[in-house]
Structures are given as C-alpha cells and as structure tokens.
Amino acid sequence: MRKLFYWGAVAAVWGVIAVAGIVAYYGMQLPAADTWAIPDRPANIRIVAADGRLISNRGKMGGEAVAIHELPHYVPNAVIAIEDRRFYDHPGFDPIGILGAMRINVSEGRFPLSGHGGSTLTQQVAKNLFLTPDQNYGRKIQEVLLAIWLENNLSKTEILELYINRVYFGAGTYGIEAASQRYFGKSARNLSLGEASILAGILKAPSRLAPNKNPEGAASRARLVLNAMAEEGFISQSEAEAAAIDPNKRIRTRITGTEYYVADWVETLMDSYLGAVEKDVIVHTTIDWELQKEAEFLIKEIIRKHGEERAFSQGALVAMRPDGAVQAIVGGTDYTKSQYNRAVTAKRQPGSAFKPFVYLAAVEGGYGPNTMVDDSPFTYKNWSPENATGKYNGRIQLRDALAQSSNLVAAKLAIELGPQNVVNTAYKLGISSNIQAVPSIALGTPEISLLELTAAYAPFANGGEGIIAHVISRIETPEGEILYSHIPSGPGQVVAPQHVSQMNDMLSHAIEVGTGRKAAFGNWPVAGKTGTSQNNRDAVFVGYSAHLVTGVWLGNDDGSPTNKVGGGSFPVEVWREFMKKAHSNWAIAQLPGADGRFDRVPLENVGGQQAVSRQEPQRRSIGDLLTDLFGG
C-alpha cells in the first residue's frame, strides 16, 4: 500500500509537470504577455434621419457598442443565465463546466473539447479577440491562458461588455445593439425581457436560431433562457412565464426598407467627408423620414398596380429642397432583392425632361415665352427628327412648344444655338455626366442620373442659385464632438432672375395645359417637365414648387420597352401624390419671378449671325433662321 501511494504520488507529480510543460509549450507560442492588448472594435457608422430616427448602422459590426449600464438589467443577466452561470465566481475558466462538457462530448462520440465546450464568457471573449476558431487542445489551452489574463486586467463588467458588443448574433450582426436593431427595430436599451431572452438564446447557434429564419426555434430557446434566469434568481417564475413568446406566433423583425439605399449612398460619401472612419460616428442626414416612407410606398404601389400590365418593374424617386438638401431617395422597389441604386447610380435617358436646358439656353440667347417658333418637319445633315405624336403645329409660341414637348422645336433650337451651348447650360445647372455636343441631345438622349437631373431643376425653384445636392448635415461622435457640419455652398447665381422667371412661366404652362397637366394639385404653383425615352424605355417627370424639387423615374433595369408608359402618365401620378403629402403642412408660395414680364428679350449672336434686338413676338422664326443658316 505504501509503495502504491508512493508511485501514485510520483505519477501525479510527473502528471503535473507534463501538464505544466504542455501549458508552457502552447503558452510560448503566444506573443509576450506584455504585448497583449484588447483590439479596437471596428468603428460603427450610425446613420439617422433629420428627426433622429435610425436609418441604418454601417461598418463591420453592424451596430454601435453600448455600455452595460445603458441596458436593462435583465439583458446581461439573460446572457449569463444561459451561457455562463458561474461567470461572477470563476477566474476566467470553469473547471466544473469543462469536465461536464468533456463527459457529454465523449459520450456523444465527439472531440472532448468541442460541441458542449464548457467555455466561459471570458474564454469566448479571448477566442473572439485573439484566436482562430480551430478546435484543438492547443488552442483551448491558449484560450484559458488568455482568459486568465483578461480576468486579471479587466473587471467582470468590462469583460461582459466586451462579450455582448462583439459576439455574433446571426444575420450579419455583431453585438447586442446591431442584433436588436436587426430583429426588433429598436435599440438594445429598450429591449423587453422577452426580446432579451430571444437574443441570449441565439448565441448557442446564431445561424439556426435567428428569429428572422426560425421564429419557432428562437421562441422555444427563449423559454429555456427565461427558465434559467428564474432558476438563478434573476427574475421570478411568474415573470418568466409572462415574458415567454408563443412559438406559434411569428416574431416580427425589422423590414429592410428603401432607406437602406440612403445608407449605402451615405457610406460611399464617408471617405470624402472624414477619410478612414476609425471611431464610432453618428451621421445626421437631411432625410425626412415620413417623406422617405411615403415615397417608398408610392413607388411600390404604382408598380404593384400597373407594373405587370404595362411592363415596367422598377422605379426611383429623388426629392430635395431648393437648396439641395435631399429629403427622400428611393433607389428601387426592394432593397433585399437588389441594392443597385437607380436614383443615384443608374444613368438613363431623360427624354424631354432634358429640354428645359435647351430652352434655358434659348432664353439666355434672346428668346422669350412669347417668341413664335416653327413646329414643322426639317432635315439637318440627314437627321429628320419627329414629334412623338406624329403631328405638327406650325408656328406656335415657345411656351406652347415646351408644354407640348415639341421635338422639332427643341432640335431646331439646339442647332441654332449650338449643341455645345446646350451642353454648357446643362453643366452650369449641375449636370455632371459626360454629354456629347450633338443636336440629338435636345431630345434627351444623354444618359444622366435621376439625382443630377433633379438637382439641375433646383435653380428654377430657388431663383437661379446653383446647388450641390447633399444628404449629410452633420457628423459627430457619440459624445457630441462635431466632426463635420454642412456649410451652404455652391456655384452661386447661375441663372439670371429674369431668365428664371421666363423658365418658370413656360414650365408652369407645361403643367397647366401640356404633357404634365396631371401634376397639378390644390392651389400650389408648380412647374415641371415630362420625359419619355425612345420606345418608352424610360418614363420621367421632374417638377417643383417653391419648397421642393422632385424627380420620378419608372422603367426596367434591362432597358426593355414598357407598354406605352410615358412621363406624363404614372410618373406624374406618383409625383403628384408625393408632393401633396409633402406640402400638406406648408404655406402656399409663389415660384420665383411669377410676376415677371416677358415683352422684351434681346437676341445676340444667334447661330453666329449679327446681333439684333426686337420686340416679342415679331422676331423671325427658327425655321427662317435655319433657312438662312443651312439653305433649307
């Protein structure tokens, strides 16, 4: 017996030495302990609407970090109850838990330290921060060493905070705030007991128990969490029963709406505003949440009602104040199916919605709304444009030519004034896409984005000031330090007030009697222009009041023709309903220059000819000038 005891003691000593050697071996493969440091959490970009409502969180984690003291007490308690009941008692690893897990794993034929791993919260933090997910004895030993180091250098509260802000909750979300926003559309600061139990329950198998994919499984797991909380004394059994979620009722999760198109756009702008984002920031946007959701509803509804019958499947909307502050951006009908932003990124032909730039070049060159022009067929260098209706009106006033969207008059103007002059006018108003200086631009053949097209109409609404469309009003840290604040800027006066007045006269006329007449609502003075590209591939309407400029596009991503959808049909309908909503609480205001006179407009250097000056409407027609210039 004495020998047995002796050799047992020797074996135990050597066992301890062997274990110490193994621990030392794997410990030596780690960097020196004095170099260990908690890696910074990737920065979060919190994007909010003008009223502070969350649009989206962007960044690798999908949400901001929250302090333990900001959360309801049952949120961290739910995590402890189901993940590590002895969290406040162990030194970083839990021998009892490890032995129990090894027994279960061996009995189930698995690797002893896999599956039911017996890892403490501290060990999971160590693994997530410092180690790879490989499952082997060496990594487990290193995990324990790092967990002990964490316990010696951080408080339990700090360790728990690290855990809940970095652990994976499924659906691409890391951290309790991102998960709460993703699944419940609210901050983790406002979680209910039942919701907290669902999130804590996800941690066992995030991909399998995420409530958006498996609400019944998530609810069932949540009940286990609640019972564990009751057993630990965190809540009473009656509270657990009251908070339990009926597994037969689906858990309502946050819907990915069109505001995510806004978030995508904002995210692409961050480099130009701040450079690399290295700490959490809050981006305040100019987006009006109510108008954003109204725009989303209207675009989806018009396609639901008429899309299949009239062969169009996509839509976009841009709304901004006359100073360029964007109020709403709808980049498509369903962000979850397509993240392609048809309002900001896509470039399509605006059709006749481009004509105001031609007409502005004309009024700046001497024309006026009363000028008589010739709406009749012509041929220029083998090009013979036609009106969409196939009809011609002969001599008509310039305002009527624009209202009726005469292709012939627009083409003759572009030729007479010079295509480059038209291009320069479009650029002056803010168009940034490359435009070829050819006569056909008068018919809206350039490809430009809805955002830049809508912004180019803003000078007509604000009295002639050039604008830069913007969506970010302020960027600050969570502590309130201002990193960026929007300062009004732009090219200044780009259109003379008298020319703004003339354009508003004609574009208002286009709504009163022309192709955009369905856009009128209430007693509001509004103006705008329809646009339809060749074969009805794109249907556009851009219009404005003194308060808001809005553009609408409908069509198909592949550029296939619609079933006779024009700018004066469904785009105008969407525009009118959106503007009615937007203007419901605003006082009626006149467009700039509404009382202007148009009886005298000088003509200078038209078509390279000698400058002349005359009274309206006795000036020569475009057809007469074309005869002089081109011989018929």
Catalytic residue numbers, as ranges: 83, 352
* Residue 483 near residue 274 (C-beta atoms within 8 A): yes
Residues 167 and 61: their CA atoms lie apart, in Å, by 10
Residues 289 and 295: their CA atoms lie apart, in Å, by 10
Question: What are the phi and psi torsion angles at 509 (to 5°)?
Answer: -60, -35
* Residue 340 near residue 557 (C-beta atoms within 8 A): yes
Query: How many CB atoms sit inside 10 A of residue 240's CB?
Result: 21
* Residue 361 near residue 422 (C-beta atoms within 8 A): yes
Q: Which two tokens stand for residue 408?
A: 């012939």
Residues 205 and 203: their CA atoms lie apart, in Å, by 6
Residues 449 and 348: their CA atoms lie apart, in Å, by 6
Residues 41 and 399: their CA atoms lie apart, in Å, by 60
Nearest to 328 by CA among 296, 366, 361: 296
Q: Which residues, 6 or more positions from 625, have their beta carbon under 8 angstroms from its beta carbon?
A: 416, 606, 607, 609
Query: How many CB atoms sit inside 10 A of residue 588's CB?
Result: 12
* Residue 137 near residue 32 (C-beta atoms within 8 A): no
CA distances from 39 to 43, 57, 61, 128, 376 (A): 12, 21, 14, 10, 73
Tabulate helix, strand, coil % of the chain (nearest 5). Answer: 45, 10, 40
Q: Which residues, 6 or more positions from 245, have their beta carbon under 8 angstroms from its beta carbon?
A: 194, 197, 198, 218, 219, 222, 223, 251
Q: Which residue type, as a one-letter code, is found at position 435?
A: I
Nearest to 280 by CA among 12, 60, 601, 105: 60
Q: What letters, b where the CB count within 10 A reaches 16 and e where it falls short, cover 477-487?
A: eeeeeeebebe
